[in-house]
Structure 1
């Protein structure tokens, strides 16, 4: 085994030649890497007798361990020398320090936060809802019949015959009206899912559902809340209009459009008075009335940040996000 002793001496000479970690790593791989010199010696085990094979294997492994230790020591020496050299370098203390850039909220998170701030000041309670919903609470309790086009595979992501990814945040309304005490004022924001994708629609988007049930609630209350919310968010610097519409779960159904910088009207929310049938199904007295609204967060973000393509919100392009 004299040649192994000579090999170790040979390795020692090569180990002390490199002056950088990178150069040392190349030498290490050549000697004790998977295809290195010492590793290749193990290929000769099959050619030896059983007695010599065990002795040879032990010596090769010990040689590999010694070599690894030599490399570790040499690496420590190179690192310490590098630190000493850096310490000797002159430092210009007059140079400005390195700035650390501060991150910012994602536009969607920012709009949700601003919106919640407004409604919490009005006494609303913020609650979160489930995203995997059953057909009963997503459709039927909200007065959406089985033949409604929104229940088809072309519009809804069905998981089973009864379970789906919720198409609206209104599923919280259908649950809370039967479990919470009246009067009630709730907002709930989160992801909803619809089978649609273009410049103004995405399969996954965010919606804020809000509803209020109490005595002496009227449509004028609804219009005032919605108008004040829009003016709060846009600092009274945007035009809005209320447009008659239809939703199965409300009466006096209305859509609210905002005027974009290009002069086009963009629908951002739908609202109305809660349908009496829904209140009756929740065993709520006819002395009470309710209002409800569903806000499209991405649509508001498009207008707030003057965007023309909703898909920019999901591209994760830092060049765009840094401008928001």
Structure 2
């Protein structure tokens, strides 16, 4: 049996010296050292050897196996090096070719809108603030005079983390935080991400919102209307039509929704504006006295107005985009347009 192994070793070493490609090396290795290989088959015959000779047989077979494994490894390394040198010899690089320019990104359209709005409200004296995206129910609903029976507090409309903690559905919670920390008169604006379980051409689970607040002794509905019209006209241009519609919000009274002429269809009606020619961009109104009192402000002395607008909706109107989901798909063909 040892003679079989010795002969197998000589045959394998001879073949390895003649092989010229890696595929043949791998095939031969499987044929000899694989689970069903010739070397393995001889090893299985050890059971037929006398017990006193098994130690010598085992030692010899291990030595032969190591010799074969080393030779296979050596041959593999040599053939890889030969292949590498051959590839380097045949491949050429034309160093006179011009270089490939790296792709340079640009600001996302939503980022551009955020920067523009911040510039506009800064010129108007608004303090720009931000707050936590994981918010207490107290600030997101309770102190804003939103009752527990309100549909917006349902599981289908809000992401709850715990019974008293949510992913904020609006940046309005910052109004409460700000009012509890400041003494009127003041004006503030909060920009950030908010979350609601919606997904279609005009809604996504995460979107951006701007929340504004102005409180003082002589703040009127006329002030509120003038400020909003000024912001919208600076964003869309003086020729873009706007309108206010009476509405109801628990945190403002009286309340109004503000619409802007659809930038996709120019007021003619399309799927984005649902055929109306208008898109609602913000909710607004005079701050409800209960909200002021919840924030520790004397509602008999002070009054104010608040508004909240969706940045994606503003950006869609500004750039004529008909599907809000395009903002989050990271398609370079879409982003290159801006």
Pairwise TM-score range, normalised by the shorter structure: 0.7 to 0.9
Residue 327 of structure 2 is aligned with which of 290, 313, 320?
313
| C-alpha contact 2:16 2:25 (8 A) present in aligned 1 | no
Alignment partners' CA distance in 1, 2:67 and 2:215: 81
Q: Which residue of 1 aligns with 2:107?
A: 105
TM-score by length of 1: 0.80
Q: Which residue of 2 aligns with 1:164?
A: 166
Q: Which residue of 2 aligns with 1:274?
A: 287
Q: How does 1:190-201 map to 2 (within 5 A)?
A: 190-201=192-203
Q: How does 1:113-192 map to 2 (within 5 A)?
A: 113-180=115-182, 182-192=184-194
Q: Give the Å deviation of 1:55.
A: 5.1
Output one character per residue of 1:194-219: Cα deviation in whole Å (capped at 9) or x when no partner: 23333322333221222233454333
- Structure with higher Rg: it is 2
Structure 2: gaps of 5 or more residues = 48-53, 268-276
| C-alpha contact 2:32 2:40 (8 A) present in aligned 1 | no
Q: Which residue of 1 aligns with 2:51?
A: none
TM-score by length of 2: 0.77
| C-alpha contact 1:30 1:36 (8 A) present in aligned 2 | yes
Output one character per residue of 1:138-197: Cα deviation in whole Å (capped at 9) or x when no partner: 111101011212222332233443333322121222223223455544333333222333
Question: Which piece of structure 1 moves more, 72-81 or 278-287?
Answer: 72-81
Q: Relative to 1, partners in 2 of residues 1:39 and 1:219: Cα closer, same or farther, differing over 3 Å?
A: farther
Q: How many residues align?
A: 311
Q: Which residue of 2 aligns with 1:302?
A: 316
Alignment partners' CA distance in 2, 1:57 and 1:125: 80
Q: Which residue of 1 aligns with 2:224?
A: 222
Q: Which residue of 2 aligns with 1:21?
A: none
What secondary structure does 2:155 align onto?
coil
Question: Which piece of structure 1 moves more, 270-279 or 65-74?
Answer: 65-74
Q: Relative to 1, partners in 2 of residues 1:7 and 1:234: Cα closer, same or farther, differing over 3 Å?
A: farther
Q: Give the Å deviation of 1:246.
A: 1.7
Q: Which residue of 1 aligns with 2:46?
A: 48
Q: Relative to 1, partners in 2 of residues 1:135 and 1:74: Cα closer, same or farther, differing over 3 Å?
A: same
RMSD: 3.2
Alignment partners' CA distance in 1, 2:59 and 2:184: 84
Structure 1: gaps of 5 or more residues = 19-23
* Runs of 4+ residues deviating >6 angstroms: none
Q: Relative to 1, partners in 2 of residues 1:292 and 1:73: Cα closer, same or farther, differing over 3 Å?
A: farther
Alignment partners' CA distance in 2, 1:38 and 1:182: 86
Question: Which piece of structure 1 moves more, 97-106 or 246-255?
Answer: 97-106
